[in-house]
Amino acid sequence: MFIATANSLDTIHPALLDRMEIIDISGYSVDEKMQIAKQFLIPRQIKENGITEQLITFPEDVLRVIIEEFTGESGVRNLERAVGSVCRAVAYQYAISTEPENFQAVEVSLGLVEEALGVNNRMDMALHEKITRPGVAIGLAYTTVGGRCLLIETMKYPGNG
């Protein structure tokens, strides 16, 4: 068995690709996003927004909420934007403080996250819980004025036929 990874199948020779079993795994897991955010995204956004690491801390539980409820993509671009928005909110607080030398370090809270990012995707999480239950399928209705997801639920009833 030979295992390989690729960002694009276009560069793999067709003869080899024909003999391969392709397993498409899209995106990062929540834990991978946590590590990427801690090691790369947060330090970069702190620097880009003109504050220092002494002025802001991201608790792990709040970072997890940002990942799970405020970003819904498989990559980390929206996560970086969300972290940047939170950093800008802290930079703004620091900029308008009357005594910057006495500015207390901000530990990012859920309140600050909601203030910086707005309404989260809790409805999407509720939808996810509904469609992962047995007996529920999701369908799509599309018309010229737009589309809508439909939850199709089934139940078993006793009957005589």
Residue 52 lies in a domain: yes
pLDDT single digits (tens) 23-59: 776 678 888 999 999 999 999 999 999 999 999 999 9
Residue 149 lies in a domain: no
- In this predicted structure, the answer to whether residue 143 has a pLDDT above a threshold of 60 is no
Higher-scoring residue by pLDDT: 120, 1: 120
Residue 144 lies in a domain: no
Residue 141 lies in a domain: no
Tell me what the mean pLDDT of segment 76-90 comes to.
93
Residue 120 lies in a domain: yes
pLDDT tier for residue 130 given thresholds of 50, 70 and 90: low
The number of residues in the chain equals: 161
- CATH code, 78: 1.10.8.60
Residue 66 lies in a domain: yes
Model confidence, pTM: 0.63
Q: How many domains does one find in the chain?
A: 1
Higher-scoring residue by pLDDT: 124, 73: 73
88 vs 46: CA distance, rounded Å: 9
CA distances from 14 to 11, 20, 21, 23 (A): 9, 10, 13, 16
Domain of residue 70, residue span: 30-128
Q: What is the pLDDT of residue 51?
A: 92
4-18, 30-44, 83-97: least confidently modelled range? 4-18
Residue 48 lies in a domain: yes
